[in-house]
Amino acid sequence: MNGGHDDLFGFGAESWEKAKLEAICAIVREGRKGNPISYSDLAKAISSINIEPHGYAMNRLLDDISREEDAAGRGILTALVVLQDEKVPAEGFWASAAGLGRDIKDKDAFWVDEMRHVLEECKKHPLCR
């Protein structure tokens, strides 16, 4: 594997896509209750691949989800994925947000606004029942 953008960490493309949908729906289920989800709980909710909560594969999976959800107009859904103890997103979230052109100078204000948006979107998310 070359570590490039096409590298799915040894997982097949079909399994990767299933894992993305499982992750999206796990995040949405918690979001519909007004809750975030920890990286650990998210990893447990993904059954199609074995993924570590704080590994490179999870970072890539969440980045893919961030880009796809934002492109669909639903915001950065991964704003709801937080560190278990600190209850805030890990560094990968901020990198994704910056990569999507968001102004993250005031991280707290950005995160609150983004969470508000995605919590609303969770209520009507088309991929998860």
pTM score above 0.85: yes
- Per residue in 10-63, pLDDT (tens digit) is 899 999 999 999 999 999 999 999 999 999 999 999 999 999 999 999 999 999
Each residue's pLDDT tens digit, 79-117: 999 999 999 999 999 999 999 999 999 999 999 999 999
Helices (H), 5-106: 13-32, 39-45, 56-71, 91-99
- The pLDDT score that the predictor gives to residue 8 is 85
- 44/42 Cα distance (integer angstroms): 5
pLDDT value for 98: 96
